[in-house]
Chain A
Amino acid sequence: MTVRTMLVVNAFALMTVLLRGEHAAEFTQDIVEIAAQVEFPLLFALAVCYLFAPAIQRMEFKRATFVVAVISLFCLFLCLPILERFDLRPNPLRWSGWALAAVGITMIYFHWRASAATPAIAEARVLALNARIRPHFFFNSINGVLGVIRSDPKRAEHALEALADLFRALMQENRKLVPLGDEIDVCERYLELERLRLGERLSVVWELRHCPMDTYVPPLMLQPLIENAVYHGIEPSSEPGRIEIRIVRRGRELNIHITNPVCADGRQNPGNRMAQANIRERLALFFDIEASMENGQRDGRYVVHIRLPIKRENTR
Protein backbone atom coordinates (compact mmCIF):
# COMPACT_ATOMS: atom_id res chain seq x y z
CA MET A 1 0.00 0.00 0.00
CA THR A 2 2.71 2.44 1.05
CA VAL A 3 4.83 1.61 -1.95
CA ARG A 4 1.91 2.00 -4.32
CA THR A 5 1.01 5.40 -2.84
CA MET A 6 4.56 6.63 -3.37
CA LEU A 7 4.50 5.34 -6.93
CA VAL A 8 1.20 6.99 -7.75
CA VAL A 9 2.10 10.39 -6.26
CA ASN A 10 5.51 10.37 -7.90
CA ALA A 11 4.00 9.44 -11.22
CA PHE A 12 1.70 12.43 -10.80
CA ALA A 13 4.68 14.64 -10.02
CA LEU A 14 6.44 13.43 -13.13
CA MET A 15 3.33 14.11 -15.17
CA THR A 16 3.22 17.65 -13.77
CA VAL A 17 6.79 18.27 -14.83
CA LEU A 18 6.16 16.83 -18.27
CA LEU A 19 3.10 19.00 -18.78
CA ARG A 20 4.78 22.14 -17.50
CA GLY A 21 8.31 21.84 -18.85
CA GLU A 22 8.55 23.15 -22.36
CA HIS A 23 12.30 22.88 -22.71
CA ALA A 24 14.19 19.66 -22.47
CA ALA A 25 17.04 21.41 -20.71
CA GLU A 26 14.86 22.36 -17.77
CA PHE A 27 13.52 18.85 -17.43
CA THR A 28 16.11 17.41 -15.03
CA GLN A 29 16.16 20.59 -13.00
CA ASP A 30 12.37 20.49 -12.69
CA ILE A 31 12.35 16.86 -11.64
CA VAL A 32 14.87 17.46 -8.86
CA GLU A 33 13.00 20.50 -7.66
CA ILE A 34 9.57 18.91 -7.58
CA ALA A 35 10.96 15.75 -6.01
CA ALA A 36 12.51 17.81 -3.21
CA GLN A 37 9.19 19.53 -2.64
CA VAL A 38 7.08 16.40 -2.84
CA GLU A 39 8.93 13.56 -1.11
CA PHE A 40 9.33 14.99 2.35
CA PRO A 41 5.70 16.03 2.97
CA LEU A 42 4.54 12.85 1.25
CA LEU A 43 6.47 10.58 3.60
CA PHE A 44 5.32 12.65 6.55
CA ALA A 45 1.67 12.42 5.47
CA LEU A 46 2.01 8.67 4.86
CA ALA A 47 3.39 8.19 8.37
CA VAL A 48 0.45 10.07 9.88
CA CYS A 49 -2.07 8.18 7.75
CA TYR A 50 -0.42 4.95 8.84
CA LEU A 51 -1.08 5.86 12.49
CA PHE A 52 -4.76 6.38 11.75
CA ALA A 53 -5.00 3.55 9.23
CA PRO A 54 -7.35 1.29 11.24
CA ALA A 55 -9.85 4.17 11.69
CA ILE A 56 -9.59 5.36 8.08
CA GLN A 57 -10.05 1.85 6.70
CA ARG A 58 -13.42 1.59 8.43
CA MET A 59 -14.75 4.81 6.85
CA GLU A 60 -16.66 4.98 3.63
CA PHE A 61 -14.85 6.30 0.56
CA LYS A 62 -15.85 10.02 0.57
CA ARG A 63 -15.25 10.48 4.24
CA ALA A 64 -11.91 8.67 4.08
CA THR A 65 -10.84 10.92 1.20
CA PHE A 66 -11.76 14.00 3.19
CA VAL A 67 -9.77 12.83 6.23
CA VAL A 68 -6.74 11.95 4.14
CA ALA A 69 -6.92 15.35 2.42
CA VAL A 70 -6.97 17.13 5.76
CA ILE A 71 -4.04 15.09 7.02
CA SER A 72 -2.08 15.81 3.85
CA LEU A 73 -2.66 19.59 4.00
CA PHE A 74 -1.76 19.58 7.67
CA CYS A 75 1.51 17.80 6.99
CA LEU A 76 2.19 20.07 4.06
CA PHE A 77 2.04 23.24 6.10
CA LEU A 78 4.08 21.73 8.89
CA CYS A 79 6.77 21.03 6.33
CA LEU A 80 6.78 24.56 4.92
CA PRO A 81 9.35 26.03 7.34
CA ILE A 82 11.71 23.12 6.75
CA LEU A 83 11.54 23.50 2.98
CA GLU A 84 12.16 27.24 3.26
CA ARG A 85 15.34 26.55 5.06
CA PHE A 86 16.50 24.66 1.96
CA ASP A 87 15.67 27.70 -0.13
CA LEU A 88 12.65 26.10 -1.70
CA ARG A 89 9.77 28.54 -1.57
CA PRO A 90 6.77 26.99 -3.17
CA ASN A 91 3.61 29.03 -3.59
CA PRO A 92 1.44 27.66 -0.73
CA LEU A 93 -1.84 28.06 -2.63
CA ARG A 94 -0.69 26.29 -5.80
CA TRP A 95 1.06 23.74 -3.70
CA SER A 96 -2.09 22.89 -1.68
CA GLY A 97 -4.09 22.54 -4.88
CA TRP A 98 -1.51 20.13 -6.26
CA ALA A 99 -1.50 18.11 -3.04
CA LEU A 100 -5.30 17.84 -3.04
CA ALA A 101 -5.23 16.66 -6.62
CA ALA A 102 -2.61 14.06 -5.66
CA VAL A 103 -4.80 12.87 -2.76
CA GLY A 104 -7.78 12.63 -5.10
CA ILE A 105 -5.93 10.60 -7.72
CA THR A 106 -4.42 8.25 -5.15
CA MET A 107 -7.74 7.63 -3.41
CA ILE A 108 -9.59 7.03 -6.66
CA TYR A 109 -6.83 4.66 -7.74
CA PHE A 110 -7.14 2.58 -4.57
CA HIS A 111 -10.90 2.68 -4.69
CA TRP A 112 -10.80 1.34 -8.24
CA ARG A 113 -8.29 -1.36 -7.28
CA ALA A 114 -10.40 -2.47 -4.34
CA SER A 115 -13.53 -2.75 -6.43
CA ALA A 116 -11.67 -4.57 -9.20
CA ALA A 117 -10.51 -7.21 -6.74
CA THR A 118 -13.31 -7.46 -4.23
CA PRO A 119 -12.79 -10.12 -1.60
CA ALA A 120 -15.51 -12.32 -3.07
CA ILE A 121 -13.82 -12.48 -6.47
CA ALA A 122 -10.41 -12.84 -4.93
CA GLU A 123 -11.51 -15.70 -2.72
CA ALA A 124 -13.30 -17.44 -5.52
CA ARG A 125 -10.11 -17.29 -7.46
CA VAL A 126 -8.01 -18.60 -4.58
CA LEU A 127 -10.42 -21.51 -4.17
CA ALA A 128 -10.49 -22.35 -7.83
CA LEU A 129 -6.74 -22.26 -7.97
CA ASN A 130 -6.48 -24.77 -5.18
CA ALA A 131 -8.60 -27.41 -6.82
CA ARG A 132 -5.66 -29.03 -8.51
CA ILE A 133 -3.59 -32.16 -8.19
CA ARG A 134 -1.96 -34.15 -10.93
CA PRO A 135 -4.03 -37.31 -11.46
CA HIS A 136 -0.86 -39.00 -12.63
CA PHE A 137 0.72 -38.41 -9.22
CA PHE A 138 -2.36 -39.60 -7.36
CA PHE A 139 -2.79 -42.92 -9.17
CA ASN A 140 0.93 -43.65 -9.22
CA SER A 141 1.12 -43.03 -5.46
CA ILE A 142 -1.75 -45.40 -4.77
CA ASN A 143 -0.09 -47.93 -7.03
CA GLY A 144 3.19 -47.41 -5.19
CA VAL A 145 1.50 -48.11 -1.86
CA LEU A 146 -0.07 -51.28 -3.28
CA GLY A 147 3.37 -52.29 -4.51
CA VAL A 148 4.99 -52.27 -1.08
CA ILE A 149 1.99 -53.37 0.98
CA ARG A 150 3.07 -57.03 1.05
CA SER A 151 6.81 -56.65 1.28
CA ASP A 152 6.91 -53.66 3.63
CA PRO A 153 3.57 -53.07 5.37
CA LYS A 154 5.04 -50.41 7.70
CA ARG A 155 6.15 -48.35 4.75
CA ALA A 156 2.74 -48.71 3.12
CA GLU A 157 1.14 -47.52 6.36
CA HIS A 158 3.32 -44.41 6.50
CA ALA A 159 2.67 -43.69 2.86
CA LEU A 160 -1.10 -43.83 3.35
CA GLU A 161 -0.81 -41.49 6.34
CA ALA A 162 1.22 -39.09 4.25
CA LEU A 163 -1.35 -39.27 1.48
CA ALA A 164 -4.12 -38.45 3.96
CA ASP A 165 -2.18 -35.46 5.34
CA LEU A 166 -1.44 -34.20 1.87
CA PHE A 167 -5.06 -34.42 0.82
CA ARG A 168 -6.19 -32.68 3.97
CA ALA A 169 -3.92 -29.77 3.11
CA LEU A 170 -5.08 -29.76 -0.51
CA MET A 171 -8.73 -29.71 0.51
CA GLN A 172 -8.49 -26.86 3.01
CA GLU A 173 -10.23 -23.70 2.03
CA ASN A 174 -6.87 -21.99 2.09
CA ARG A 175 -8.06 -18.44 2.52
CA LYS A 176 -5.67 -17.79 5.35
CA LEU A 177 -1.93 -17.66 5.58
CA VAL A 178 -0.29 -20.59 7.34
CA PRO A 179 2.94 -20.85 9.35
CA LEU A 180 5.91 -21.67 7.13
CA GLY A 181 6.64 -24.71 9.31
CA ASP A 182 3.27 -26.24 8.40
CA GLU A 183 3.85 -25.64 4.70
CA ILE A 184 7.22 -27.36 4.96
CA ASP A 185 5.52 -30.33 6.67
CA VAL A 186 3.12 -30.65 3.74
CA CYS A 187 6.10 -30.69 1.38
CA GLU A 188 7.77 -33.42 3.44
CA ARG A 189 4.64 -35.56 3.21
CA TYR A 190 4.53 -35.05 -0.50
CA LEU A 191 8.21 -35.90 -0.94
CA GLU A 192 7.78 -39.05 1.16
CA LEU A 193 5.27 -40.29 -1.41
CA GLU A 194 7.49 -39.38 -4.33
CA ARG A 195 10.43 -41.18 -2.70
CA LEU A 196 8.34 -44.33 -2.52
CA ARG A 197 7.88 -44.25 -6.29
CA LEU A 198 11.15 -42.80 -7.48
CA GLY A 199 13.52 -44.33 -4.92
CA GLU A 200 17.13 -43.28 -5.33
CA ARG A 201 16.40 -41.12 -8.34
CA LEU A 202 15.11 -38.40 -6.04
CA SER A 203 17.27 -36.60 -3.50
CA VAL A 204 16.23 -33.43 -1.74
CA VAL A 205 18.39 -30.94 0.12
CA TRP A 206 16.69 -28.50 2.47
CA GLU A 207 18.65 -25.50 3.64
CA LEU A 208 16.70 -23.91 6.46
CA ARG A 209 19.33 -22.61 8.86
CA HIS A 210 18.29 -18.98 8.83
CA CYS A 211 14.64 -19.59 8.26
CA PRO A 212 11.94 -18.28 10.62
CA MET A 213 9.44 -21.15 10.87
CA ASP A 214 6.79 -18.95 12.47
CA THR A 215 6.43 -16.51 9.60
CA TYR A 216 3.15 -16.77 7.67
CA VAL A 217 3.00 -17.73 4.03
CA PRO A 218 0.19 -18.51 1.55
CA PRO A 219 -0.91 -22.14 1.91
CA LEU A 220 0.36 -24.51 -0.79
CA MET A 221 2.94 -22.03 -1.96
CA LEU A 222 5.92 -24.43 -1.83
CA GLN A 223 4.35 -27.81 -2.50
CA PRO A 224 3.22 -27.17 -6.10
CA LEU A 225 6.65 -25.74 -6.93
CA ILE A 226 8.40 -28.79 -5.50
CA GLU A 227 5.94 -30.97 -7.39
CA ASN A 228 6.94 -29.11 -10.55
CA ALA A 229 10.60 -29.66 -9.74
CA VAL A 230 10.01 -33.42 -9.45
CA TYR A 231 7.79 -33.56 -12.52
CA HIS A 232 10.15 -31.65 -14.81
CA GLY A 233 13.54 -32.25 -13.19
CA ILE A 234 13.51 -35.79 -11.80
CA GLU A 235 10.83 -37.89 -13.49
CA PRO A 236 11.96 -37.43 -17.13
CA SER A 237 15.51 -38.55 -16.34
CA SER A 238 16.74 -42.03 -15.51
CA GLU A 239 19.73 -40.53 -13.72
CA PRO A 240 19.42 -39.56 -10.05
CA GLY A 241 18.77 -35.86 -9.55
CA ARG A 242 18.79 -33.40 -6.68
CA ILE A 243 16.22 -30.79 -5.72
CA GLU A 244 17.50 -27.98 -3.52
CA ILE A 245 15.27 -25.79 -1.41
CA ARG A 246 16.86 -22.86 0.34
CA ILE A 247 14.81 -20.55 2.56
CA VAL A 248 16.58 -17.60 4.16
CA ARG A 249 15.55 -14.47 5.91
CA ARG A 250 17.02 -11.24 4.60
CA GLY A 251 15.96 -8.32 6.74
CA ARG A 252 12.18 -8.04 6.61
CA GLU A 253 12.04 -10.38 3.67
CA LEU A 254 11.80 -14.12 3.18
CA ASN A 255 13.74 -15.49 0.20
CA ILE A 256 12.93 -18.90 -1.20
CA HIS A 257 15.00 -20.62 -3.87
CA ILE A 258 13.93 -23.91 -5.38
CA THR A 259 16.21 -25.48 -7.98
CA ASN A 260 16.11 -28.69 -9.99
CA PRO A 261 18.21 -30.21 -12.76
CA VAL A 262 17.23 -29.40 -16.33
CA CYS A 263 16.69 -32.62 -18.25
CA ALA A 264 18.51 -32.32 -21.53
CA ASP A 265 17.97 -35.74 -23.05
CA GLY A 266 14.70 -37.03 -21.63
CA ARG A 267 11.45 -36.21 -23.32
CA GLN A 268 10.18 -33.27 -21.33
CA ASN A 269 7.04 -33.94 -19.42
CA PRO A 270 4.22 -31.93 -20.93
CA GLY A 271 4.16 -28.89 -18.71
CA ASN A 272 1.44 -26.54 -17.75
CA ARG A 273 2.19 -23.16 -16.34
CA MET A 274 -0.86 -23.45 -14.09
CA ALA A 275 1.00 -23.94 -10.82
CA GLN A 276 3.27 -20.96 -11.31
CA ALA A 277 0.55 -18.62 -12.51
CA ASN A 278 -1.55 -19.74 -9.56
CA ILE A 279 1.15 -18.98 -6.99
CA ARG A 280 2.05 -15.66 -8.57
CA GLU A 281 -1.58 -14.62 -8.43
CA ARG A 282 -2.02 -15.66 -4.82
CA LEU A 283 1.19 -13.91 -3.80
CA ALA A 284 -0.26 -10.77 -5.36
CA LEU A 285 -3.58 -11.24 -3.56
CA PHE A 286 -1.90 -11.69 -0.19
CA PHE A 287 1.06 -9.32 -0.47
CA ASP A 288 0.46 -7.06 -3.47
CA ILE A 289 3.77 -5.90 -4.97
CA GLU A 290 5.74 -6.61 -1.84
CA ALA A 291 6.10 -10.21 -3.04
CA SER A 292 7.50 -11.48 -6.31
CA MET A 293 8.33 -14.70 -8.08
CA GLU A 294 10.95 -15.18 -10.76
CA ASN A 295 12.11 -18.21 -12.65
CA GLY A 296 14.88 -19.04 -15.06
CA GLN A 297 17.93 -21.17 -15.68
CA ARG A 298 21.28 -20.79 -14.01
CA ASP A 299 24.30 -23.12 -14.31
CA GLY A 300 22.24 -25.87 -15.92
CA ARG A 301 19.60 -25.79 -13.23
CA TYR A 302 16.08 -24.44 -13.23
CA VAL A 303 15.57 -21.87 -10.49
CA VAL A 304 12.42 -20.44 -8.94
CA HIS A 305 12.98 -17.50 -6.60
CA ILE A 306 10.22 -16.13 -4.38
CA ARG A 307 10.52 -13.05 -2.29
CA LEU A 308 7.86 -12.13 0.25
CA PRO A 309 7.59 -10.02 3.39
CA ILE A 310 7.99 -11.62 6.81
CA LYS A 311 4.64 -11.74 8.59
CA ARG A 312 4.40 -12.77 12.21
CA GLU A 313 0.64 -12.68 12.52
CA ASN A 314 -2.09 -14.12 10.42
CA THR A 315 -3.75 -11.18 8.69
CA ARG A 316 -4.59 -10.46 5.12
Chain B
Amino acid sequence: MNPLNVIIVDDEAPARERLRDLLGDIASTQPTRVVGMAANGLEALRLFEETKPDLMFVDIRMPGMDGIELAQHLSRLAPPPQVIFATAYDQYAVTAFDLHAIDYLLKPVRAQRLEAALARARASKPVARDVLDGFAEPRRHFASSERGRITLVPISEVLYLKAELKYVTARTAEREHLLDESLVHLEQEFPDRFIRIHRNCLVARAAIAGFERDEVAEQWNVRLGSVVERLPVSRRQWPAVRAAVLNVELPD
Protein backbone atom coordinates (compact mmCIF):
# COMPACT_ATOMS: atom_id res chain seq x y z
CA MET B 1 0.00 0.00 0.00
CA ASN B 2 1.25 3.50 -0.80
CA PRO B 3 1.63 5.73 2.22
CA LEU B 4 -0.92 8.55 2.31
CA ASN B 5 0.46 12.05 2.76
CA VAL B 6 -1.41 13.67 5.64
CA ILE B 7 -1.64 17.03 7.38
CA ILE B 8 -2.86 17.35 10.96
CA VAL B 9 -4.78 20.51 11.85
CA ASP B 10 -5.54 21.23 15.50
CA ASP B 11 -5.03 24.33 17.61
CA GLU B 12 -3.86 22.29 20.60
CA ALA B 13 -0.28 21.03 20.40
CA PRO B 14 -0.75 17.86 22.52
CA ALA B 15 -3.70 16.84 20.35
CA ARG B 16 -1.51 17.07 17.22
CA GLU B 17 1.22 15.03 18.91
CA ARG B 18 -1.24 12.41 19.95
CA LEU B 19 -2.60 11.91 16.45
CA ARG B 20 0.92 11.74 15.01
CA ASP B 21 1.93 9.12 17.60
CA LEU B 22 -1.10 7.03 16.76
CA LEU B 23 -0.50 7.26 13.01
CA GLY B 24 3.03 5.97 13.71
CA ASP B 25 1.62 3.09 15.74
CA ILE B 26 -0.62 1.84 12.96
CA ALA B 27 1.84 2.48 10.12
CA SER B 28 2.29 -1.25 9.47
CA THR B 29 -1.36 -1.70 8.51
CA GLN B 30 -2.19 1.83 7.32
CA PRO B 31 0.99 3.54 6.13
CA THR B 32 0.93 7.34 6.29
CA ARG B 33 3.45 10.14 6.08
CA VAL B 34 2.77 13.28 8.12
CA VAL B 35 3.90 16.07 5.79
CA GLY B 36 2.85 18.91 8.03
CA MET B 37 0.93 20.08 11.08
CA ALA B 38 -1.01 23.33 11.38
CA ALA B 39 -2.52 25.20 14.32
CA ASN B 40 -5.19 27.15 12.42
CA GLY B 41 -7.11 27.37 9.18
CA LEU B 42 -4.84 29.77 7.33
CA GLU B 43 -1.72 27.76 8.16
CA ALA B 44 -3.55 24.66 6.99
CA LEU B 45 -4.50 26.20 3.63
CA ARG B 46 -0.92 27.33 3.03
CA LEU B 47 0.45 23.93 3.98
CA PHE B 48 -2.00 22.37 1.61
CA GLU B 49 -0.80 24.55 -1.27
CA GLU B 50 2.81 23.62 -0.51
CA THR B 51 2.44 19.90 0.05
CA LYS B 52 -0.79 18.83 -1.71
CA PRO B 53 -1.52 16.03 0.74
CA ASP B 54 -3.99 13.20 0.18
CA LEU B 55 -5.68 13.53 3.51
CA MET B 56 -6.21 16.13 6.22
CA PHE B 57 -7.25 15.59 9.83
CA VAL B 58 -9.18 18.68 10.86
CA ASP B 59 -10.25 19.63 14.37
CA ILE B 60 -13.71 21.19 14.37
CA ARG B 61 -13.32 23.79 17.07
CA MET B 62 -10.45 26.14 16.32
CA PRO B 63 -9.99 29.87 16.83
CA GLY B 64 -10.54 32.17 13.86
CA MET B 65 -11.74 29.72 11.25
CA ASP B 66 -13.35 26.54 12.48
CA GLY B 67 -12.70 23.13 10.98
CA ILE B 68 -15.90 23.00 8.97
CA GLU B 69 -15.21 26.30 7.26
CA LEU B 70 -11.66 25.12 6.55
CA ALA B 71 -13.10 22.01 4.91
CA GLN B 72 -15.39 24.22 2.80
CA HIS B 73 -12.36 26.10 1.49
CA LEU B 74 -10.45 22.87 0.92
CA SER B 75 -13.33 21.43 -1.07
CA ARG B 76 -13.02 24.37 -3.50
CA LEU B 77 -9.36 23.65 -4.22
CA ALA B 78 -8.10 21.33 -6.89
CA PRO B 79 -7.67 18.50 -6.29
CA PRO B 80 -9.58 18.57 -3.01
CA PRO B 81 -8.03 16.43 -0.27
CA GLN B 82 -9.84 13.85 1.82
CA VAL B 83 -10.89 15.39 5.11
CA ILE B 84 -11.45 13.53 8.36
CA PHE B 85 -12.91 15.66 11.12
CA ALA B 86 -11.95 15.29 14.76
CA THR B 87 -13.77 16.64 17.76
CA ALA B 88 -13.84 16.21 21.51
CA TYR B 89 -17.50 17.00 21.85
CA ASP B 90 -19.70 18.88 19.42
CA GLN B 91 -23.19 17.48 19.41
CA TYR B 92 -24.50 19.54 16.51
CA ALA B 93 -21.58 18.89 14.19
CA VAL B 94 -21.63 15.19 15.00
CA THR B 95 -25.34 14.95 14.25
CA ALA B 96 -24.79 16.70 10.92
CA PHE B 97 -21.91 14.36 10.03
CA ASP B 98 -24.01 11.30 10.79
CA LEU B 99 -26.79 12.70 8.67
CA HIS B 100 -24.51 13.19 5.65
CA ALA B 101 -22.44 10.04 6.23
CA ILE B 102 -19.28 12.07 6.75
CA ASP B 103 -16.58 10.30 8.75
CA TYR B 104 -15.29 11.83 11.97
CA LEU B 105 -13.17 10.87 14.95
CA LEU B 106 -14.00 11.48 18.58
CA LYS B 107 -11.08 12.62 20.73
CA PRO B 108 -9.38 10.90 22.44
CA VAL B 109 -8.97 8.82 19.30
CA ARG B 110 -8.39 5.05 19.47
CA ALA B 111 -5.88 3.39 17.18
CA GLN B 112 -8.45 0.89 15.93
CA ARG B 113 -10.92 3.59 15.03
CA LEU B 114 -8.20 5.55 13.26
CA GLU B 115 -7.29 2.51 11.16
CA ALA B 116 -10.89 2.09 10.09
CA ALA B 117 -11.15 5.77 9.15
CA LEU B 118 -7.99 5.59 7.05
CA ALA B 119 -9.19 2.46 5.27
CA ARG B 120 -12.46 4.17 4.45
CA ALA B 121 -10.71 7.34 3.27
CA ARG B 122 -8.62 5.33 0.81
CA ALA B 123 -11.71 3.80 -0.67
CA SER B 124 -13.98 6.84 -0.96
CA LYS B 125 -14.09 10.26 -2.60
CA PRO B 126 -13.69 13.56 -0.77
CA VAL B 127 -16.88 15.01 0.66
CA ALA B 128 -18.65 17.02 -1.97
CA ARG B 129 -18.60 20.77 -1.66
CA ASP B 130 -22.35 21.29 -1.70
CA VAL B 131 -22.80 18.75 1.10
CA LEU B 132 -20.50 20.82 3.30
CA ASP B 133 -22.15 24.07 2.25
CA GLY B 134 -25.49 22.50 3.07
CA PHE B 135 -25.00 22.15 6.77
CA ALA B 136 -22.10 24.44 7.59
CA GLU B 137 -22.71 27.91 8.90
CA PRO B 138 -22.08 30.63 6.31
CA ARG B 139 -18.41 31.00 5.51
CA ARG B 140 -16.79 33.92 7.27
CA HIS B 141 -13.78 34.23 4.98
CA PHE B 142 -12.99 34.21 1.30
CA ALA B 143 -9.78 32.43 0.43
CA SER B 144 -7.84 34.47 -2.10
CA SER B 145 -4.90 32.95 -3.90
CA GLU B 146 -2.51 35.44 -5.44
CA ARG B 147 0.96 34.62 -6.73
CA GLY B 148 0.71 31.21 -5.10
CA ARG B 149 0.01 32.63 -1.66
CA ILE B 150 -3.32 32.17 0.09
CA THR B 151 -4.78 35.00 2.13
CA LEU B 152 -8.04 35.02 4.02
CA VAL B 153 -10.42 37.92 3.55
CA PRO B 154 -13.01 38.30 6.32
CA ILE B 155 -16.34 38.48 4.51
CA SER B 156 -17.56 41.11 6.97
CA GLU B 157 -14.90 43.51 5.60
CA VAL B 158 -15.87 43.11 1.95
CA LEU B 159 -17.56 46.23 0.53
CA TYR B 160 -18.41 44.88 -2.87
CA LEU B 161 -17.72 41.99 -5.26
CA LYS B 162 -17.12 42.67 -8.92
CA ALA B 163 -16.90 40.19 -11.77
CA GLU B 164 -14.02 40.96 -14.12
CA LEU B 165 -13.15 38.58 -16.96
CA LYS B 166 -12.32 35.25 -15.33
CA TYR B 167 -12.15 36.37 -11.73
CA VAL B 168 -14.21 38.04 -9.08
CA THR B 169 -12.54 40.82 -7.11
CA ALA B 170 -13.51 41.47 -3.53
CA ARG B 171 -12.96 45.08 -2.44
CA THR B 172 -12.21 45.85 1.20
CA ALA B 173 -11.48 49.31 2.57
CA GLU B 174 -7.75 48.63 2.10
CA ARG B 175 -7.39 46.76 -1.17
CA GLU B 176 -8.73 44.33 -3.74
CA HIS B 177 -8.50 40.54 -3.59
CA LEU B 178 -8.87 38.07 -6.42
CA LEU B 179 -11.32 35.25 -5.79
CA ASP B 180 -11.82 32.10 -7.77
CA GLU B 181 -15.58 32.10 -7.36
CA SER B 182 -18.63 32.95 -9.42
CA LEU B 183 -20.79 35.95 -8.73
CA VAL B 184 -23.96 33.92 -9.16
CA HIS B 185 -22.91 31.43 -6.50
CA LEU B 186 -21.87 34.19 -4.15
CA GLU B 187 -25.21 35.90 -4.60
CA GLN B 188 -26.99 32.67 -3.73
CA GLU B 189 -24.70 31.87 -0.83
CA PHE B 190 -25.01 35.29 0.86
CA PRO B 191 -28.42 36.70 -0.03
CA ASP B 192 -28.67 38.63 3.24
CA ARG B 193 -25.25 40.21 3.09
CA PHE B 194 -24.86 41.22 -0.56
CA ILE B 195 -27.30 42.74 -3.02
CA ARG B 196 -26.93 42.76 -6.78
CA ILE B 197 -26.79 46.26 -8.25
CA HIS B 198 -25.46 45.43 -11.68
CA ARG B 199 -24.88 42.45 -13.92
CA ASN B 200 -21.26 42.39 -12.70
CA CYS B 201 -21.53 43.70 -9.17
CA LEU B 202 -22.77 42.72 -5.69
CA VAL B 203 -22.62 45.31 -2.90
CA ALA B 204 -22.60 44.63 0.83
CA ARG B 205 -25.89 46.04 2.10
CA ALA B 206 -24.12 47.38 5.18
CA ALA B 207 -21.59 49.29 3.04
CA ILE B 208 -24.18 51.37 1.19
CA ALA B 209 -23.98 54.96 2.45
CA GLY B 210 -26.41 56.46 -0.06
CA PHE B 211 -27.32 57.00 -3.72
CA GLU B 212 -26.35 59.72 -6.13
CA ARG B 213 -27.98 60.59 -9.41
CA ASP B 214 -25.65 60.78 -12.40
CA GLU B 215 -27.59 63.06 -14.75
CA VAL B 216 -25.23 62.55 -17.68
CA ALA B 217 -25.42 58.77 -17.71
CA GLU B 218 -29.01 58.92 -16.48
CA GLN B 219 -28.44 56.38 -13.76
CA TRP B 220 -28.05 56.06 -10.03
CA ASN B 221 -24.71 55.42 -8.34
CA VAL B 222 -24.10 53.79 -4.98
CA ARG B 223 -22.04 55.87 -2.59
CA LEU B 224 -19.89 53.81 -0.15
CA GLY B 225 -18.93 54.94 3.32
CA SER B 226 -15.23 54.09 3.44
CA VAL B 227 -14.02 54.47 -0.17
CA VAL B 228 -14.59 57.25 -2.69
CA GLU B 229 -15.52 55.03 -5.62
CA ARG B 230 -19.07 55.16 -6.98
CA LEU B 231 -20.75 52.02 -8.24
CA PRO B 232 -23.35 52.30 -10.99
CA VAL B 233 -26.73 50.69 -10.43
CA SER B 234 -28.15 49.21 -13.60
CA ARG B 235 -31.57 50.42 -14.69
CA ARG B 236 -32.84 46.90 -14.40
CA GLN B 237 -31.71 46.46 -10.79
CA TRP B 238 -32.63 49.95 -9.58
CA PRO B 239 -36.23 49.24 -8.46
CA ALA B 240 -35.16 46.18 -6.48
CA VAL B 241 -32.17 47.94 -4.92
CA ARG B 242 -34.21 50.97 -3.97
CA ALA B 243 -36.88 48.81 -2.42
CA ALA B 244 -34.43 46.67 -0.48
CA VAL B 245 -32.28 49.48 0.85
CA LEU B 246 -34.47 52.56 1.15
CA ASN B 247 -37.50 50.92 2.67
CA VAL B 248 -35.44 49.82 5.62
CA GLU B 249 -34.01 53.26 6.19
CA LEU B 250 -37.17 55.28 5.64
CA PRO B 251 -40.05 53.56 7.34
CA ASP B 252 -43.33 55.37 6.80
Beyond A142-B108, A143-B18, 7 extra complex contacts between A and B, CB < 8 Å = A138-B89, A139-B88, A143-B12, A143-B88, A147-B17, A147-B21, A266-B64
CB distance from B74 to the nearest CB of A (A): 18
CB distance from B60 to the nearest CB of A (A): 10
CA–CA, A143 to B87, complex, Å? 10
CB distance from B54 to the nearest CB of A (A): 24
In chain A, what residue has the closest Cβ to B16?
A: A147
For window 107-155 of B, CB contacts with A under 8 Å fall at 107-109, 140, 154
Instruction: Give residues in B with beta carbon < 8 Å to A.
Output: 11-18, 21, 39-40, 61, 63-64, 66, 88-90, 106-109, 140, 154
Query: Are B18 and A146 in contact, with the CB atoms below 8 A?
Result: yes
Query: Are B21 and A150 in contact, with the CB atoms below 8 A?
Result: yes
CA–CA, A144 to B14, complex, Å? 5
Query: Are A238 and B18 in contact, with the CB atoms below 8 A?
Result: no
In chain A, what residue has the closest Cβ to B156?
A: A265
Residues of A within 8 A of B61 (CB): 136, 235
A-B contact count (CB 8 A): 70
CA–CA, A197 to B11, complex, Å? 9
CA–CA, A94 to B45, complex, Å? 84
CB distance from B46 to the nearest CB of A (A): 14
CB distance from A274 to the nearest CB of B (A): 16
Query: Are B63 and A143 in contact, with the CB atoms below 8 A?
Result: no
Query: Are A197 and B108 in contact, with the CB atoms below 8 A?
Result: no
Query: Are B64 and A238 in contact, with the CB atoms below 8 A?
Result: yes
CB distance from A235 to the nearest CB of B (A): 7
Q: Main SS of the interface on chain B?
A: loop
Query: Are B12 and A144 in contact, with the CB atoms below 8 A?
Result: yes
CA–CA, A112 to B154, complex, Å? 56
CA–CA, A140 to B154, complex, Å? 28
Q: Main SS of the interface on chain A?
A: helix
Pick the contact of B108 from A139, A150, A196, A235 — CB < 8 Å? A139
Query: Are A265 and B154 in contact, with the CB atoms below 8 A?
Result: yes
Pick the contact of A148 from B11, B17, B90 — CB < 8 Å? B17
18 A/B residue pairs, CB under 8 Å, sorted by A: A135-B88, A136-B88, A139-B89, A143-B18, A143-B107, A146-B14, A147-B12, A147-B14, A147-B15, A147-B18, A147-B21, A150-B21, A196-B14, A235-B63, A238-B40, A238-B64, A263-B63, A267-B66
Residues of B within 8 A of A266 (CB): 63-64
For window 204-257 of A, CB contacts with B under 8 Å fall at 235-238
CA–CA, A199 to B16, complex, Å? 13
Query: Are B89 and A197 in contact, with the CB atoms below 8 A?
Result: no
Query: Are B63 and A237 in contact, with the CB atoms below 8 A?
Result: yes
CA–CA, A198 to B39, complex, Å? 11
CB distance from B156 to the nearest CB of A (A): 9
Interface assignment of A151: CB less than 8 Å from any CB of chain B = yes
Query: Are A199 and B89 in contact, with the CB atoms below 8 A?
Result: no
What does the 1/0 interface line of A109-148 toward B look like (CB < 8 Å)?
A: 0000000000000000000000000011011101111111
Residues of A within 8 A of B12 (CB): 140, 143-144, 147, 197-199
CA–CA, A142 to B89, complex, Å? 12
Residues of B within 8 A of A196 (CB): 14
Residues of B within 8 A of A267 (CB): 64, 66, 140
Query: Are B15 and A144 in contact, with the CB atoms below 8 A?
Result: yes
Residues of A within 8 A of B89 (CB): 135-136, 138-139
Residues of B within 8 A of A236 (CB): 63
Residues of B within 8 A of A197 (CB): 12, 14-15
Query: Are A140 and B15 in contact, with the CB atoms below 8 A?
Result: yes
CA–CA, A235 to B21, complex, Å? 24
Query: Are B107 and A265 in contact, with the CB atoms below 8 A?
Result: no
Pick the contact of B17 from A136, A151, A235 — CB < 8 Å? A151
In chain A, what residue has the closest Cβ to B41?
A: A238
Pick the contact of A143 from B14, B66, B90 — CB < 8 Å? B14
Residues of A within 8 A of B21 (CB): 147, 150
CB distance from A305 to the nearest CB of B (A): 27
Query: Are A143 and B40 in contact, with the CB atoms below 8 A?
Result: no
CB distance from B26 to the nearest CB of A (A): 15
CB distance from A76 to the nearest CB of B (A): 63
